[in-house]
Amino acid sequence: MMRKYWVRSFVMAALFGAAMPAFAAEITSPAKQAYVSDFATGKVLFSKNADAPMKPASMAKIMTVFVAFQRIADGQLGMDDKFTISEKAWKKGGSRTFLEVGKTVSVRELLHGIIVQSGNDAAIVLAEGISGTENAFADEMNFWAKNIGMKNTNFRNST
C-alpha cells in the first residue's frame, strides 16, 4: 500500500512539474555596478561592471567594522575600550556622529556611530585607536580584504 502511494505521488509530482513552465527571474539594476551571488553555492546570479573601479563610499565603513569585530573576536579589543577623538576625526565632513574633539568614546559607541549613522568621524577614531593612524588601519583593511577574496579592492582610509 505504501509503495502505491509513493509511486502515485511521484507520478503526480512529475506531471505537475512538467506542466509548469520554469521561469527564471531576470535581475536588472539601474546601478552602474552590481554583483549578486548565491552565498551557499557561490554562483553569480547577476553581474554588471563588477570589475570596474569605483569609490566604495560607505562600503569602506563596513570593512572598518569588520576589522574592529575581528579584533574583538581575537580578544585584542573590547567593546568598553575607549579612544580619544582626534582633531582629524572631529574635522571630517560628510556623515557624522558629532563627536567632540578630546573626549573619549567607547568602542561600542563608535561602532554604533558607524553602523547606525554612517559616521565618518567615528570610523576615523576607531581606525586611529586600533592601528595608531588611519593609514596603518587601511593597511589592515587591505590585508583582510585580500583574505576574504576581495582581489580588486584597495582601501585608503576607514571612510
Which residue pairs from 126-133 have beta carbons closer than 8 angstroms and sit at least 24 positions apart in sequence?
A: 126/64, 126/68, 126/83, 126/158, 127/64, 127/157, 127/158, 128/83, 128/86, 128/88, 128/89, 129/81, 129/83, 129/84, 130/67, 130/68, 130/71, 130/77
DSSP 111: H
2, HSE (Cβ side, Cα atoms, 13 Å): 0
| Residue tagged active-site, from 43, 55, 61, 95 | 61
Q: Is 73 exposed, middle or buried (0-12, 13-18, 19+ CB in 10 A)?
A: exposed
Is 118 known to be catalytic?
yes
| Residue tagged active-site, from 48, 58, 82, 106 | 58
What single-letter amino acid sits at 27?
I
Is 37 known to be catalytic?
no
The residues that are catalytic are 58, 61, 118
